[in-house]
Amino acid sequence: MKYLTILGSTGSVGVNTLDVVARNPGRFELVALTARSQIDMLFEQSCRFKPRYAVVLDEALASRLHEKLRDAGVPTEVLCGVQAMEKVAALPQVTTVVAAIVGIAGLRSTLAAACAGKKILLANKESLVTAGALCMSAVRESGAELLPIDSEHNAIFQALPAARSGSLADRGIRRILLTASGGPFRTMALDQLGRVTPEQAVAHPNWVMGRKISVDSATMMNKGLEVIEAHWLFDAAPEIIEVVIHPQSVVHSMVEYRDGSVLAQLGNPDMRTPIAHALGFPDRIDSGADFLDLARTGSLHFEAPDYGRFPCLRIAYEALRAGDSAVVALNAANEIAVAEFLEHRLGYLDIPKLIEEVLGRISARKIGSLDDVEDVDRQARMAAREICTKLRAPRAIAQG
């Protein structure tokens, strides 16, 4: 029996995780579910799975959830706040933590799970993007186990040699190939990108994801963040991590070896497949995903990314090479830019402009603690909001 805390149970990864759990009765017990604000969904999940704890950030929402659960006769205890998130990530009875909170908001609870030596199923890539050295150090010191549930990193994990020790070169690995769908604008005329709307950007052709991640997929910042995450997960130099566009999203990533072999993990584009792999590891369990029919799939297409079309990918590589404060600022600026775009306050092509300008404003510094991460994050967000105001002005004039 595995005892689970799901950080971010109302998001797409959390919902899919609960679907896999329900398909495998007797294997898992829910100890805690957490959400930012979707208490109606958290209430339904608590009624169904009856975790010991349900956690939300806002005190008023926590009070409402408590009343709803009390009236329904559900014994789940409601907790509130960031410290409560950290608490349920580190509970002694919890064996496995699904880290699925979107953005840097998930950093503290993910780090708490790492320090407590938990098995962490990681979907919150921002934890490694902004605090990779801190997180990996905590994993090593506590004996925690880190299993990726992003489809790409999970695919790489499956294609790596069974022996996990030693450098990638010692294990005969030449390259890591991260596949990317290219999003909804892969073939759109470049002169049309300036008119892209949030509604178009969140309509991913293959995957069903949250709004922020869908926009990141459209700009390919999501892939840039995944390059940074792969650097930390697999101790891989930026030079050996390459991105390949694969519109069908059937090959989820590949590992190339010194002898010329390329090992790939294939499957239908369904988040439940990597989630089930990590939940059951080292066993294989039912995911609920459809099985892949290669004959019906037909041909598979691959192409190199165009940095002119996807400048966010180039910017992410540059931030990774700069390291430390640059990757923290990259993530913060992107979160602000995407939020502004989704609210129709920033243009699609303004997203990379804003990120590059923020990176130019933030001084290079070493990151040695969580306080350092949060300090740079605050500075970058302040700079991003100032730049947003400047970028909005010509848009307002043009629209007027």
- 300-322 pLDDT tens trace: 999 999 999 999 999 999 999 99
Kindly indicate the confidence band of residue 205, based on its pLDDT and cuts at 50, 70 and 90. Answer: confident
- Every domain range in the chain assigned CATH 1.10.1740.10: 323-399
pLDDT of residue 93: 97
C-beta separation of 326 from 272 below 8 A? no
pTM: 0.92
**Percent of the chain at pLDDT above 90?**
89
Quote the CA–CA distance of 59 and 64 in Å, as a whole number: 9
pLDDT tens digits, one per residue of 361-400: 999 999 999 999 999 999 999 999 999 998 875 554 445 4
| Tokens at 45, concatenated | 């999940």
Going by their DSSP bridges, the two strands 173-180 and 251-257 should be labelled as: antiparallel
pLDDT of residue 396: 47
What is the 3 state secondary structure string of the chain?
A: CEEEEEECCCCHHHHHHHHHHHHCCCCEEEEEEEECCCHHHHHHHHHHHCCCEEEECCHHHHHHHHHHHHHHCCCCEEEECHHHHHHHHCCCCCCEEEECCCCHHHHHHHHHHHHCCCEEEECCHHHHHHHHHHHHHHHHHHCCEEEECCHHHHHHHHHCCCCCCCCCCCCCEEEEEEEECCHHHCCCCHHHHHHCCHHHHCCCCCCCCCHHHHHHHHHCHHHHHHHHHHHHHCCCCHHHEEEEECCCCCEEEEEEECCCCEEEEECCCCCHHHHHHHHHCCCCCCCCCCCCCHHHHCCCCCECCCCCCCHHHHHHHHHHHHCCHHHHHHHHHHHHHHHHHHCCCCCCCHHHHHHHHHHHHCCCCCCCCHHHHHHHHHHHHHHHHHHHHHHHHHHHHHHC
Quote the CA–CA distance of 85 and 32 in Å, as a whole number: 9
How is domain 2-148 classified at the CATH fold level? Rossmann fold (3.40.50)
Quote the CA–CA distance of 251 and 245 in Å, as a whole number: 10
Q: Which residues of 118-128 are buried (b: 16+ CB within 10 A; e: fewer)?
A: bbbbbbbbbbb
Beta carbons within 8 Å of 195's beta carbon, 6+ residues apart: none
| Tokens at 194, concatenated | 């300036």
pLDDT of residue 162: 82
Please determine, for residue 165, whether its predicted confidence score (pLDDT) is greater than 80: no
Kindly indicate the confidence band of residue 85, based on its pLDDT and cuts at 50, 70 and 90. Answer: very high
Kindly indicate the confidence band of residue 25, based on its pLDDT and cuts at 50, 70 and 90. Answer: very high
pLDDT of residue 395: 55
Phi, psi of 363 (to 5 degrees): -70, 145
Please determine, for residue 207, whether its predicted confidence score (pLDDT) is greater than 80: no
Please determine, for residue 113, whether its predicted confidence score (pLDDT) is greater than 90: yes
Kindly indicate the confidence band of residue 208, based on its pLDDT and cuts at 50, 70 and 90. Answer: low
CB atoms < 10 A from the CB of 320, how many? 24
Please determine, for residue 104, whether its predicted confidence score (pLDDT) is greater than 90: no
Beta carbons within 8 Å of 395's beta carbon, 6+ residues apart: 346, 347, 350
In this prediction, residues 164-171 reach a mean pLDDT of 86
- Every domain range in the chain assigned CATH 3.40.50.720: 2-148
What is the Rg, in whole angstroms, of the alpha carbon atoms belonging to the chain? 21
Lowest mean pLDDT among 103-107, 184-188, 364-368: 103-107
Quote the CA–CA distance of 39 and 46 in Å, as a whole number: 10
Phi, psi of 11 (to 5 degrees): -80, 180
Task: Give the angle 370-103-312 at the CA atoms, nearest 5°.
Answer: 105
In this prediction, residues 48-71 reach a mean pLDDT of 96
189: left (phi over 0), alpha (psi -120 to 50) or beta: beta
How is domain 323-399 classified at the CATH fold level? Rna Polymerase Sigma Factor; Chain: A (1.10.1740)
